[in-house]
Amino acid sequence: MQTNVIRRGRPADILRSRAATLAAALILISSMGAASNSYQANAQEPKYEMGTFYMCLLIRPPNFSAANLSQDLVKEHLKHIQGLLASGKGVIAGPFADNTRVAGVFVLNASSAEEARAIEEADPFVKTAGLSVEVLKWWAAKGIMKPPPQPLKQKVYYLTFLRRGPKWTPEKTPETEKLQAEHMANINAMAKTGKLVIAGPFENAGEYAGIFVFKVDTLDEAKQLAQSDPAVKAGRLVADVHPWLLGEGSLP
């Protein structure tokens, strides 16, 4: 399977509208890969203003310790983030609050994966602290992600990576079509509650299928929502949930 992962280093009417947008964004999330061209055609329908973004994952090296980062280096890293947000190249960005291989996630308005990689390779954490970058092309609704107002206040969201699971297959069958319909119904139900705030599929990203971002009170609730997805229950997808610290107002 070819992959474009580059390694280095949104009252009731509003919720219904958001649910429809999320549904469009995820219409083929459980069959990405061979169906990516069909997804792109659906994503261009005038009813939904969809767009491509580049999601950059900052990856910790082995034996990485944040305690070893100097205050000056942290300041330079924050300056890099602020510059990206001010320029419009950065859409949202924030660290993960758990100690896993992904240290944080940037969403960029870049013209290509190569530009996104170059932007993140300029991050002092990559240049100096040994972090590396994975770049994923991501389809999502425009206008939901916004730079946070100042002064900055952090809020915890829960980013869920959806990856191809052990029961994933590229074939379209009556069983996979039924599962897809159930998957979409669940997405709409979660969006209508306001708990699912943005989602979308990756394009040609190997095991990565897409993401959910939840606005809930606890990690356990986020995990329960992710596990409620029929495609996850069936093993077609697997869900990996992380607490994501964003500036309050970056997402609904």
Confidence of residue 3 (pLDDT cuts 50, 70, 90): very low
* Structural domain total, the chain: 1
**Per-residue pLDDT, 66:** 82
Q: What is the pLDDT of residues 110-151, one digit of tens each?
A: 999 999 999 999 999 999 999 999 999 999 998 899 888 878
Q: At residue 215, does pLDDT exceed 50?
A: yes
In a domain, 166, yes or no: yes
In a domain, 35, yes or no: yes
Residue 76, Cα to own-chain centre: how many angstroms?
25
Partner residues linked to 156 by β-bridges: 245
Q: What is the pLDDT of residues 15-49, one digit of tens each?
A: 444 444 444 444 333 333 333 333 333 333 334 48
**Per-residue pLDDT, 120:** 96
**Average pLDDT value for residue range 233-241:** 96
**Average pLDDT value for residue range 225-249:** 96
How far, in Å, CA of 143 to CA of 32, rounded? 24
In a domain, 169, yes or no: yes
Q: At residue 65, does pLDDT exceed 90?
A: no
Q: What is the pLDDT of residues 163-211, one digit of tens each?
A: 999 999 988 999 999 998 998 899 889 999 999 999 999 998 899 999 9
Q: What is the DSSP string of the chain?
A: --B--EEE---HHHHHHHHHHHHHHTTTGGGTTTTHHHHHHHHT-TTS-EEEEEEEEEEPPTT--GGGS-HHHHHHHHHHHHHHHHHTSEEEEEEBSS-SSEEEEEEE--SSHHHHHHHHHTSHHHHTS--EEEEEEEEEETTS--PPPSS--EEEEEEEEEEE-TT--S---HHHHHHHHHHHHHHHHHHHTT-EEEEEEBSSBTTEEEEEEE--S-HHHHHHHHHTSHHHHTTSEEEEEEEEEEETTS--
Q: At residue 236, does pLDDT exceed 60?
A: yes
In a domain, 181, yes or no: yes
How far, in Å, CA of 184 to CA of 5, rounded? 26
Enclosing domain of residue 37: 6-10+12-247
Mean of pLDDT over the chain: 83
How far, in Å, CA of 57 to CA of 18, rounded? 26
In a domain, 252, yes or no: no
Phi and psi at 14, nearest 5°, equal -65, -45
**Average pLDDT value for residue range 156-166:** 97
**Per-residue pLDDT, 49:** 81
Write the CATH number for 88.
3.30.70.1060
In a domain, 1, yes or no: no
